[in-house]
Amino acid sequence: MPTLSLPNSTDEHLLQLMAGDNREAFTELYNRYWDKTFAVAWHRLDDEQEAEEVVQEVFLSIWQRRASLKLTHSLATYLSVAVKYRVINHLDRAYRKQQHLDELAATPADTGDTIMQWLEEKELRQRLDHAIKQLPEKCRIVFLLSRDENKTYAEIAAELGIAQKTVEAHMSKALSSLRQSLGVSLPVLILLLR
């Protein structure tokens, strides 16, 4: 049976070839989806350079995991969700960096108690960030869409193509896991997540 030329190959066939270290198959997928993934990233970040960086990270991740990559949905859906997740990470890092700069600017230079309090809060936030990264992928994505993009459960369900009850279950699991990881009560956790 003759082999398909790469431009005429299905995504599934290209992924199989890529799993066998075929760089041309990877290049074909990259060329096929780069514009679409860039458009998603640029729309959300409104920054061309950051959008390009996000797309490069997503495709690099696919190449690095080529042998073990198993998709439950189409490649287009996978790439869309992966780009959105990377965008959330970029926005989260930018937000935390700006928040840190704002806190430094607001910290009085001579106040030892304030500096200690700031260091304790910083440590707690680092622990929170680490705990968020430990959540299962879908759980983490749902949690970050809710926290960082202020999306409703219905909006998250529509965006990820899952049931609203599934979103609620992921959020419940995320909050429970974060409470356990940090050893804090729900009210303290809610204050941390602001």
What one-letter code names the amino acid at 116? Answer: M
**In angstroms, how far is CA 183 from the centroid of its own chain?**
25
Predicted confidence (pLDDT) at residue 168 exceeds the cutoff of 60: yes
Q: Looking at residue 100, what is its pLDDT?
A: 65
Give 23-44 as a 3 state SS string.
HHHHHHHHHHHHHHHHHHHHHH
pLDDT, averaged across the chain: 81
Reading the block at residue 77, the tokens are: 């859906």
Is 95 a domain residue? no
Domain span at residue 119 reads: 107-194
Q: What mean pLDDT is predicted for residues 23-39? A: 92
Q: What is the pLDDT of residues 68-91, one digit of tens each?
A: 888 888 888 889 888 988 888 878
**How far is it, in rounded angstroms, from Cα 165 to Cα 157?**
9
- Label residue 185 left, alpha or beta by phi (over 0 means left) and psi (-120 to 50 means alpha): beta
**93 or 109, which is more confident?**
93
Q: Is residue 75 part of a domain?
A: yes
Q: Does residue 172 belong to any structural domain of this protein?
A: yes
Query: What pLDDT shows up at residue 170?
Result: 87
Tokens of 135: 């959540």
* Higher pLDDT pick, 49 / 188: 49
pTM: 0.49
Residue 93 has pLDDT above 80, yes or no: no
Residue 147 lies in a domain: yes
Number of domains in the chain: 2
